[in-house]
Structure 1
Amino acid sequence: MAAISSIRNIGPASEAMYNAAGIMTAEDLRQMGADAAYAKLLETGNRPHFIGYYALHMALQGRPWNDCKGEEKKALRVKFDAIKASHFNAPKSELDAFMDQIGLIDRR
């Protein structure tokens, strides 16, 4: 079984995050796929970051992290926003909580 950091563009810090989320090997990560693995990171408390998400997609394809452009990047942004919305509950500020309570926050 290969270490996650054996995948191009994934370093020791990212490997530690995946390990903490229960994803221990490169094979596990490849089998899960980018979307499920990123959702697992968010479920375990990691903050969402679009670059990390699309860099993971590029890494699993063996491409440079900054190879994502144009329509491909736009499509990944839509998927990232959906994963973030369903797997990450950021604490609300008092103002946001109040605005939500009185119906001023858009709930898309």
Structure 2
Amino acid sequence: MNKANTELNQDLDMLDEYDFTGGVRGKYYQQYQNGNIKPLKGIQFVTDTKGRKTGVLIDLNEYQYLWDECLKTFDESVKVQYLVDSQGEKIAVCLSFREHLQIWQKIYDTLIA
């Protein structure tokens, strides 16, 4: 076994602090495959011309607390786009999956938990 394979195997080893005893393998897999993910209030997906989800709009009236928590976790210098109302107040944040996937995953995991 060469050095690269040895390092790869070490990266794949399960660490002791991971505890999946209550986990269910593939819990949401079938829902994703069938597109049967329940709609989330205040969440709208952005799609491309082929219907693929490329981003998400998050209503800040509904999820301001969650967005504030994300800004604490992630570097606040992350560039995102906001939708603003006529008074200049931020009413929604737009996340691109290409640029903000980790942020969206944290939000989504919180919403479905």
TM-score when scaled to structure 2? 0.22
User: Which structure has more strand as a fraction of its residues?
Assistant: 2
Question: RCO greater where, 1 or 2, for CA within 8 Å and sep 6 or more?
Answer: 1
User: Which structure has more helix as a fraction of its residues?
Assistant: 1
